[in-house]
A = this chain, B = another copy of it.
Amino acid sequence: MKSKITITEIADKCGVSVSTVSRVLNNSPSVSPKKRALIQQIIDEYNYTPSVFARGMVNHKTKNIGVILPDITNPYFASLFLQIESFALKNMYATILFNTMFARNPDKYDTPLSEEDYFKIILEKQVDGVLILGGQIDKDDVPENFIHALNQLHKSVPVVIVGSRIDGCECLFVERNSRQGVTSIVNHFIALGHERIGFVGGEPGIRITSSRIEAFKQTMKAYHHDVNDSYIVTSDYYAPDGYSAMNQLLDQNSGKLPTAIIAINDMVALGAIRAMKDRGLDCPSDIAIASCDQFPHSDYSIPRLTSMDLHNEYLGRMAVMQLISAINGSEEAISINHMPELIIRESCGATRR
């Protein structure tokens, strides 16, 4: 609406050349203090800001980064994003957010876009870098053409992926050991005297799901405990999924129910507990539950949830740092090693007298 003032006009008003103004803008040292002060004053007075377009034309930078994630509604991604945005802003980058979930729920959100489509859009936006959280890269078997698209994207702009490294993908990765958490929970349950332990939630064919289930089985084996396959029911990552998974588990094990259940995250745990309740089963006295990934407010549910604090905020921070340093030309990988923490509350039954 209002046409912005330009560097030329500033220069005129100050009686200097545009280059001098440009110099104070990019605080180049070679400007006399006197002129610098004057120019700065005029700049402030007219509230002048250089055009991103003109700037971009010469240095090809937008100071924007693209963030692609499945669903900002999911607390996991939301808290990650919060950190990302905070840190990015501190470094003068703004974040353009893309929710690919539209691709998954075409009925609810009628934007039939694949993640690859997003790559294209994001590329056109001329962002300085891209952060990818979850989605296709989390699949056990990442489609060949998706990896190709990723590499393609990475050729034009640095791409940082939060997730486990993939063979053949040249992007940068920020990864974390996703198994420790499960192990802690199994240890805890076994220490509590449980032997029949189950697992609910998580989309099958997705890495976090697979690796957690595997870690679960391995740890159980280390204790020489059986892992009954019917005690493991996958579904997805939300409350309704925990509900259905738990119901299925209960259905197929009416004989000997597990005494403890590991849920893939807090929402699933909540759904599972609700399913139990609807069948007259109490948590934790009938079946104890603990979740592998803590979300906000797990301290206010009934019962309070025992879960792993994975320090997700920290992960988000690392990811932007990695991206920004890549934008600035550094290729060195940042390794992240943060210990997950078991937060014992009510649902695991450890606190019942």
Residues of A within 8 A of B (CB): 1-2, 4, 49, 51-57, 60, 62-64, 71-73, 75, 78-79, 81-82, 85-86, 89-90, 94-99, 101-102, 109, 111, 113, 121-126, 155-158, 238-240, 242-243, 267, 270-271, 273-274, 277, 296-297, 299-302, 304
8 residue pairs bridging A and B, Cβ less than 8 Å apart:
A51-B56, A52-B126, A72-B81, A82-B101, A86-B109, A94-B122, A95-B97, A97-B97
| Alpha-carbon gap, A302 to B242, bound state (A) | 14
| Alpha-carbon gap, A51 to B56, bound state (A) | 9
A300–B51 CB distance below 8 A? no
Q: Determine how many copies of this chain the complex contains.
A: 2
B155–A94 CB distance below 8 A? no
- Indicate which residue in B1, B95, B102, B300 contacts A96 across the interface (CB closer than 8 Å): B95
| Shortest Cβ distance from A67 into B: residue | B97
Apart from A49-B124, A94-B125: 6 A-B pairs, beta carbons within 8 A: A1-B157, A52-B126, A53-B54, A89-B113, A238-B296, A270-B297
B57–A54 CB distance below 8 A? yes
| Alpha-carbon gap, A53 to B72, bound state (A) | 29
Shortest CB-to-CB span from A265 to chain B, Å, is 12
A72–B82 CB distance below 8 A? yes
B57–A156 CB distance below 8 A? no
- Residues of the B chain whose Cβ atoms lie less than 8 Å from the Cβ of A299: 239-240
Interface centre among A113, A121, A122, A302 (most CB of B within 10 A): A302
